[in-house]
Structure 1
Amino acid sequence: MNKIIFLLIAFFFYCFSLLGQEQHWSLQQCIEAGKKNSIAIKIQQLDIKKAQKEHNSVGNQFLPTVSFTGNQSYNFGSTINPSTNGRESSNIQNDNFNLNAQMSLLDFKAIANAQKSKIAIELSKETLKIVENEYQLQILESYYQTLFTQELLKIQEEQFKNSEFNLERVKKEVDIGSKSKSDWYDMQLSFAQEEKRILETKQLLLYQKKQLFQLINIENTAIEAVLLNVLIETTFSQTITIDNNPKLRYAKLNYESSLADAKIERANNLPSLISFYSFSTFYFKTLNRLNVQTVDFGKQIKDNKNQQVGIQLDIPVFNGFRNSKRLSALKIEAEKTRLLIEQETLKVKNQIDLENQNKQNYIKLSAKLQEMKGFAEVSFRSSQAKFSTGIIDAVVFSTVKNQLLTTAYDWLKNQLQVKYVDQKIALLKGEMY
Structure 2
Amino acid sequence: MNKNSIFTVVFFLIFALGSAQENSWTLTKCMETALQNNIEIKIRQLEIKKTEKSQNSVLNRMLPTINLYGEQGYNFGSTIDPSTNGRVSSNIQNDNFYLNARTNMIDFSAFANAQKDKINIEQAKAEKEVVENEYKLQILESYYQVLYAQELLKIQKEQLKQASFNLDRVTKEVTIGNKPQSDLYDMQLSFSEEENRNLETEHLYAIKKIQLFQLMNIVDVVTDEIVLEPYLNEADKDFDNELYNPKIKLAELNYQNSLQLIRLERAVNYPILSAYYGYSTFYYKNIKQANANTDSFFNQLEDNKSQQVGMQLSVPIFNGFRNNKKISASKIVGDKAKLVVEQEKQLLDKQVVLEEQNKRNYSQLQHKLMEKQKFAKASLATTEAKFINGKVEAILYSSVKNQSLSADFEVLKNNLQLQYIDLKINLLKKNQL
Shared fold (TM-score, shorter chain, > 0.5): yes
Partner of 2:200: 200
Given that residues 246 and 431 in structure 2 are in contact (C-alpha distance below 8 angstroms), is that contact kept between their aligned partners in structure 1?
Answer: no
- Cα distance in 2 for partners of 1:90, 1:397 equals 123
Amino acid at match of 2:371: E
Q: CA deviation at 1:239?
A: 4.3
The aligned runs of 1:123-272 (5 Å cut-off) are 123-233=123-233, 234-242=235-243, 244-272=244-272
Mapped to 2, the partners of 1:315 and 1:346 lie a distance apart of 46
Distance change >3 Å, CA 45–CA 256, structure 1 → 2: same
> 1:413 and 2:413 equivalent?
yes
Label 1:22 to 1:198 Cα distance change in 2 as closer, same or farther (>3 A).
Answer: farther
Per the alignment, residue 329 of structure 1 pairs with 329
- CA–CA distance in 1 between the matches of 2:381 and 2:25? 35
Quick check: 226-235 or 392-401, which moved more?
392-401
Alignment check: 8 A CA contact 2:33 2:216 kept = yes
Letter in 1 for 2:257: S
Aligned residue in 2 for 1:109: 109
Give the whole-Å Cα distance in 1 for the aligned partners of 2:184 and 2:357: 49
Partner of 1:122: 122
Match of 2:351 in 1: 351
The alignment partner of 1:230 has SS state of: coil
- Opposite residue 106 of structure 1, the aligned amino acid is I
Q: Say which is worse superposed, 401-410 or 216-225, in terms of deviation.
A: 401-410
For 1:238 and 1:404, the matched residues in 2 are separated by 38
TM-fit CA distance, 1:257: 0.3
Cα deviation 1:333-388 (Å, max 9, x = unaligned)? 11111111111111111111111101000000001111112222333344445555
What are the Cα deviations for residues 385-431 of structure 1, in whole angstroms up to 9, with x where unaligned? 55556655555455444433432222111111111111111110124
- Greater shift, 143-152 or 281-290, is seen at 281-290
Indicate how the Cα distance of structure 1 residues 387 and 181 shifts in structure 2: closer, same or farther if over 3 A, else same. farther
Q: C-alpha distance in 2, partners of 1:318/1:23?
A: 73
Partners of 1:97 and 1:291 lie apart in 2 by 25
Displaced runs of 4 or more, over 6 A? 14-22
**Inter-CA distance 18–257: structure 2 relative to 1 (3 Å threshold):** closer
Q: Which whole-Å CA distance do the structure 2 matches of 1:231 and 1:138 have between them? A: 19
| CA–CA separation in structure 2 for the residues paired with 1:160 and 1:86 | 114
Indicate the RMSD between aligned Cα atoms, in angstroms.
2.2
Once residues 340 and 271 of structure 2 are traced to their aligned partners in structure 1, the CA distance between those partners, rounded to angstroms, is 34
How many Å separate the matches in 2 of 1:257 and 1:149? 47
Q: Distance in 2 between matches of 1:391 and 1:80?
A: 130
- Say which is worse superposed, 108-117 or 163-172, in terms of deviation: 163-172
- The equivalent residue for 2:10 is none
Provide closer, same or farther for how the CA distance between residues 259 and 281 of structure 1 changes in structure 2, counting only shifts above 3 A: same
CA distance in 2 between partners of 1:429 and 1:166 (Å)? 51
* Partner Cα separation in structure 2 for residue 322 and residue 92 of structure 1: 48
**Larger mean Cα displacement after TM superposition, 299-308 or 391-400:** 391-400
The answer on whether the counterparts of 2:278 and 2:309 sit within 8 Å (CA) in structure 1 is yes
Where does residue 341 of structure 2 map in the other structure?
A: 341
Listed one character per residue, the Cα deviations across residues 255-274 of structure 1 (whole Å, up to 9, x for unaligned) are: 11000000000000000000
Is the CA contact 2:162–2:398 (under 8 Å) kept in the aligned structure 1?
Answer: no
Structure 1 segment 275-294 matched on structure 2, within 5 A: 275-294=275-294
Following the alignment from structure 1 to structure 2, what is the Cα–Cα distance between the partners of residues 175 and 22? 48
Moved more, 268-277 or 74-83: 74-83
Partners of 1:128 and 1:421 in 2: how far apart?
24
Task: State the AA in 1 paired with 2:33.
Answer: A
Equivalences for residues 72-111 of structure 1 within 5 A: 72-111=72-111
CA apart distance, 1:80? 1.7
Contact 1:213 1:220 in 2 (8 A): no
Residue segments in structure 2 that go unaligned for 5+ positions in a row: 1-13
- Gapped regions of structure 1 (runs ≥ 5): 1-13
In the alignment, residue 284 of structure 1 is paired with which amino acid?
A: Y
Whether 1:301 aligns to 2:301 is yes
**Equivalent residue for 1:31?**
31
> 1:5 maps to what in 2?
none
Q: 1:174 Cα deviation (Å)?
A: 1.3
Equivalent residues of 2:166, 2:398 under 8 A apart: no
Task: Name the count of aligned residue pairs.
Answer: 420
Deviations along 1:204-225, one digit per CA (max 9) or x if unpaired, are 1111111111111112432111
The equivalent residue for 1:11 is: none
Per the alignment, residue 51 of structure 1 pairs with: 51
Alignment CA distance shift 1:188-1:259 (3 Å)? same
Structure 1 contact 369–407 (Cα < 8 Å) conserved = yes
Judge conservation of contact 1:106–1:272 (CA < 8 Å) in 2: yes
Tell me the CA shift for residue 122 of structure 1.
0.6
Per-residue Cα deviation, 1:284-307 (whole angstroms, up to 9, x for no partner): 111122342332101011111110
Shift, 1:125, TM fit: 1.0
Aligned amino acid, residue 177 of structure 1? G
Secondary structure of the 1:429 match is helix
1:64 CA drift (Å): 1.0
Q: Do 1:19 and 1:222's aligned partners in 2 also have CA atoms closer than 8 Å?
A: no
The one-letter amino acid of 1:169's match is R
Cα 1:22/1:339, change in 2 over 3 Å: closer
Letter in 2 for 1:230: P
Aligned residues of 1:21 and 1:225 also touching (Cα < 8 A): no
- Tell me, in whole angstroms, the C-alpha distance in 2 between the residues paired with 1:127 and 1:20: 37
Give the conservation status (yes or no) of the 8 Å contact 2:170–2:394. Answer: no
SS in 1 for 2:227: strand
Q: Retained in 2: the 8 A contact 1:20–1:225?
A: no
User: Does the residue aligned with 2:313 lie in a helix, a strand or coil?
Assistant: strand
Q: Displacement, 1:191?
A: 1.2
Please report how far the alpha carbon of residue 95 of structure 1 lies from its aligned counterpart in structure 2 after TM superposition.
1.0
Q: Determine the C-alpha separation between the residues in 2 that align with 1:22 and 1:278.
A: 70
Task: Give the letter aligned to residue 207 of structure 1.
Answer: I
